[in-house]
Structure 1
Amino acid sequence: MNTTISRAITAAVVRGKGAPFTLEEVNIREPEGAEVLVRVVATGMCHTDLIVRDQLYPVPLPLVLGHEGAGVVEAIGPNVTRLAVGDHVVMSYGFCGGCSPCDHGHMSYCKEFFGRNFGGSDADGKCAITDRQGEAVHDHFFAQSSFATYAISTEDSAVKVPKEAPLELLGPLGCGIQTGAGAVINTLGVRPGSRFAALGAGAVGLSAVMAARVAGAAMIIAIDVVPERLALAMELGATHVINASHEDVVERVRELGGGGVDYALESTGRTEVLRQGVDVLAGRGTLGVVGAPPLGHEAAFDVNDLLLGGKSIRGIVEGDSVARDFIPQLVELHRQGRFPFDRLVKFYDFEDINQAAEDSERGLTLKPILRMAR
């Protein structure tokens, strides 16, 4: 039973389009129903946080962002059955659990996905956070809003992980890392001996490179314009790299792959790169699309190339992952040394959140992780 109405926490609040994050003392209510209150240990920063800050996705302000949180369960609602106080969890995306896609195990395509992850409130339109003036601050971003010292999540969206795992490292498994790895393993189903190309070698693309290696791809091509990222890609499992600012991507991939690749993944959100992704496919190849441009952007491709080549284009959300199953699998692969995603991250103190955002946007840091005060 809840003994308090709310507790004081610190949160990074965005109050205007493109405004900096400001650390504020706010209040968060106690968990209700099937909710859990998580003391956030660390949280990743993702490109999606920044495009919402800049209002390329229309989430209401003021708002607490953050959607790659990891922490410890501090309190549970009365309907929680699978989690307990003290459990270590990684928080992932929200879903309703009752629509047709959810019933068939495709939670990342939940009919309420946009509202539950980008709506700025719970399913009833209520916020869990209020500022010092008692005004609501929008939250429930990806069922968590983890740019805060505490976050309300749901039991379905909080994934229990082993206590011996490095909790402060695990938050990005809830979105960016699971997206890249899941696209390769769950969606594309990359086969041993196959040819794979990652168009974009950011955190998502490099996660895909590592997953392609786990899957046994014989050729793994990483494509980017940043030499340091391409060098890291070689260390993480790429067999070839292409600097898109120096080489013709389509021509070079076709040369390396003997006509193209079996699978490709576009993670840049640039429509011209998506076109390259279609063009680098060999016959009956599949392009996965995870990069998100601003809403309303359209891409073009040669219809006859798609048709006569039997090619496929597949949109992918959250790597088609059932987070409760997939995140522990990635934790185990990391423990075995087969999925070293720790190579992608740089830690920042929570109060340095704006520096982390700037470094991410400038391409200096692949995956920032904000550590809360101990």
Structure 2
Amino acid sequence: MSTAITAAVARAKGEPFTIQKARLRGPQDDEVLVRVVATGLCHTDLIVRDQFYPVPLPAVLGHEGAGVVEEVGPNVKNLKPGDHVVLTYGACGYCQPCVGGHGAYCSHFFGLNFGGGDLEGRTAIEDEEGRPLHDHFFAQSSFASHALARENNAIKVPQDAPLELLGPLGCGIQTGAGAVINSLKVTPGSRFASFGAGAVGLSAVMAARVAGASTIIAVDIVPSRLELAKELGATHTVNSREVDMVEAIRDITGGGVDFALESTGHPQVLAGAIEALGTLGAIGVVGAPPLGTKGEFDINGLLLNGRTIRGIVEGDSVPQRFIPQLVELYQQGRFPFDKLVKFYPVEQINEAAEDSTRGVTLKPILRFTHA
């Protein structure tokens, strides 16, 4: 049986999303059908719409969904209709990185998340004329009133948590917070800098505060973002449009930071961020520029100072464990990521995208209305 859905479709490179009716097939194997309550709009959705990554179009994007399970496939073991879930990235669950607890580096990651269908190239959504729409985006395609996910990327969350708020925990918020806690392992009393104060960078700021860093520096060019960073735990802010950010960070820290995160995707920012590291400092890179973008750094500065540079996908998190932990931290008032979001009806997706691109809104969340 198929389900009639409403979806926001990216039809061609750089064009606005269009809202249209479609049909979604029922769940098979270990899949779950989720009625989407709300879904975050992420930078990755926009760079795919604009074809920085070669996902085939037309497609139903969306990868920060949250909703209610309506139906489960025959091989689903631990989810049932009525469960509240956050949808996260897809991973096969059986390759070497997956069995080692590093599903974000799944051997099939690109195919499962950016392939435009399942690993065999099959799609689950058809438009009103019966033509296939590319889907399975991040194993969910949640820019739709209903989405199919697999049991391993539909994360059960408490019924008393605000479901419409939780979708961004599946990607953007998880990425920033996980980079700090899981990947860099920021330590109590350490010095940390976030290069970029968007949703990912500010999630890192909040996580650094949870981790006990004593100096937390937010770097950006937008004054309002820097003010919000102070609310969320930054002890210092640096406007890199007004001052030399490397010199400013060295002055604040007396030599450089122990840990840093680069979330802007700009190579020149990454180069400066590496220079702002202290001895034995480590930087995580999560900003996603167009494929093929190159960066530069001083090799001797890296070598003689014992610095570390590492790429990070999805905060290197095990979502089944990490997303419920973030929900609990939010409910305790220790991770107030609600201060990053603004809600839009899904019909205003293009306004939300424009606001995100202009920096007016840090984390748009699209709401779906169900009869």
Fold conserved between structures, TM > 0.5: yes
Distance in 2 of aligned mates of 1:167 and 1:8:
23
1:70 aligns with 2:66: yes
Instruction: Count residues in correspondence.
Output: 370
1:318 aligns with 2:322: no
For 1:96-135, what aligned pairs fall within 5 Å after superposition?
96-135=92-131
1:92 partner letter? T
Distance in 2 of aligned mates of 1:292 and 1:157:
22
1:147 aligns with 2:143: yes
Question: 1:133 Cα deviation (Å)?
Answer: 1.1
User: Unmatched 5+ residue regions in structure 1?
Assistant: none
Secondary structure, counterpart of 1:156 in structure 2 = helix
For 1:1-374, what aligned pairs fall within 5 Å after superposition?
4=1, 6-374=2-370
Q: Deviations over 1:191-239 (max 9, x none)?
A: 0000000000000000000000000000000000000000000000000
Secondary structure, counterpart of 1:294 in structure 2 = coil
Distance in 2 of aligned mates of 1:97 and 1:131:
31
Distance in 2 of aligned mates of 1:50 and 1:57:
10
Distance in 1 of aligned mates of 2:11 and 2:167:
25
Q: TM-score, normalised by structure 2?
A: 0.99
Question: 1:162 Cα deviation (Å)?
Answer: 0.3
Distance in 2 of aligned mates of 1:156 and 1:189:
25
Distance in 1 of aligned mates of 2:247 and 2:84:
47
Question: 1:123 Cα deviation (Å)?
Answer: 1.8
Distance in 2 of aligned mates of 1:78 and 1:355:
40
Distance in 2 of aligned mates of 1:127 and 1:349:
26
Secondary structure, counterpart of 1:307 in structure 2 = helix
Question: 1:276 Cα deviation (Å)?
Answer: 1.0
Q: Deviations over 1:234-274 (max 9, x none)?
A: 00000000001001000000111110000000000000011
1:131 partner letter? D
User: Unmatched 5+ residue regions in structure 2?
Assistant: none
Secondary structure, counterpart of 1:264 in structure 2 = strand
Distance in 2 of aligned mates of 1:161 and 1:122:
26
Q: Deviations over 1:49-75 (max 9, x none)?
A: 000000000000110000000000000
Distance in 1 of aligned mates of 2:190 and 2:275:
17
Distance in 2 of aligned mates of 1:98 and 1:366:
35
Distance in 1 of aligned mates of 2:263 and 2:244:
18
Question: 1:121 Cα deviation (Å)?
Answer: 0.3
2:333 partner letter? G
Secondary structure, counterpart of 2:249 in structure 1 = helix
Percent identity of equivalent pairs: 68
Distance in 2 of aligned mates of 1:340 and 1:245:
28
Distance in 2 of aligned mates of 1:112 and 1:7:
28
Distance in 1 of aligned mates of 2:231 and 2:12:
40
Secondary structure, counterpart of 2:152 in structure 1 = coil
Q: TM-score, normalised by structure 1?
A: 0.99
Distance in 1 of aligned mates of 2:284 and 2:273:
9
Distance in 2 of aligned mates of 1:366 and 1:62:
26
Question: 1:10 Cα deviation (Å)?
Answer: 0.3
Secondary structure, counterpart of 1:284 in structure 2 = strand
